[in-house]
Amino acid sequence: MSPVLSPWPYAVLPAAEWRSREAAHIVRADDLTRAHRERAARGERHPVEDFLYTYYSYKPSVLRRWHPGERFALEDAASTRRATWRWYTQGDDHVSLVVDGEGFRADRGALIANIARILRATAGRAGSFGCFGLHEWAMVYRQSEHRHPAPLRLGRHATDQVVEAHDLRCTHFDAYRFFTPEAAPRNREVPTRERQAALEQPGCLHAGMDLYKWAVKLGPIVPGELLLDTFALARDVRMLDMQASPYDLTAWGCTPVAIETADGKAEYVRRQRAFAERGQVLRDRLLDVIDG
């Protein structure tokens, strides 16, 4: 069913349509987060899958909340709980609800501008595919202890040798900032928060995962379907990130991608390119949202 055109500057989504989309969104969100929620109820943790909830600090409930995006009026929604949500206002007919995009943009203008700057710069840059996920290796380089509970699958000495045998090319600040003091000088670049827009590139796994973060920060102007698409990409990327890491995570359903071998490098780059393509599509969709 197509939105109904109206004399005011919104397309009206009939009640049956938007309620159906909202219900489908909630089902999909629950499917995506079910394993995490069930583990949390048992007091268990998963070192691979739980990362998205701790690193980004967004609860599963954030994913359940569906928004239509800007320029849509939700028919007969003014009497629903949604009317109490921030950034919603009554439409001109007094029974519909619309996202207060104008108010959101006025309040979060600086944040939106920064997100747009990073996304646009990244989208306009060629992807780099020669890092082989070595950022995780650089985080344990010459360290007797590391952040993850899993053991190093090659042992400490051999892990250090892998780092020393490769050229570190990390371009993402939030990965680089966890490099050990001995590994940081080995990197080609010195990423900083201020240089983020200048260095981000679409081949970076972390840049792909961050699309989820940007979608959440853009709040109600992002359609719910796009939010879940960014989360699904982040979840898939996280798995490769850990498969290519130096940790032995086979007990957690994480089959290693041995980037220290030629075959492992080839597999990593093949999957990295596929994620970059998915990420560019989502990046363009987020920029469309920002540009209105």
Beta bridge mates, 72: 11
Query: CB neighbours (10 Å) of residue 38?
Result: 10
Q: What is the pTM of this model?
A: 0.93
Q: Is the pLDDT of residue 152 over 90?
A: yes
Q: Is the pLDDT of residue 145 over 90?
A: no
Tokens of 241: 């990130």
Q: Is the pLDDT of residue 25 over 70?
A: yes
Q: Is the pLDDT of residue 238 over 80?
A: yes
Which among 205, 173, 195, 198 has a CA at the least distance from the CA of 52? Answer: 205
Rounded to the nearest 10 degrees, the angle between the axes of helix 224-243 and helix 205-217 is 150
**What pLDDT, on a 0 to 100 scale, did the predictor assign at position 73?**
92
Annotated domain spans of the chain: 4-107, 109-291
Percent of the chain, pLDDT > 70?
96
Residue 112 pLDDT level (bands cut at 50, 70, 90): very high
Look up residue 228 and give its amino acid.
L
Beta bridge mates, 74: 13, 97
Average pLDDT taken over every residue of the chain: 93
Look up residue 18 and give its amino acid.
W
Q: Is the pLDDT of residue 11 over 90?
A: no
CB-based contact 130:169 (threshold 8 Å): yes
pLDDT digits 0-9 by tens, 240-267: 999 999 999 999 889 999 999 999 999 9
CB-based contact 123:231 (threshold 8 Å): no
CB-based contact 13:74 (threshold 8 Å): yes
**What pLDDT, on a 0 to 100 scale, did the predictor assign at position 93?**
78
Which among 199, 176, 196, 209 has a CA at the least distance from the CA of 275? Answer: 209
CA dist 115 and 279 (Å) reads 15
pLDDT digits 0-9 by tens, 178-230: 999 999 999 999 999 999 999 999 999 999 999 999 999 999 999 999 999 99
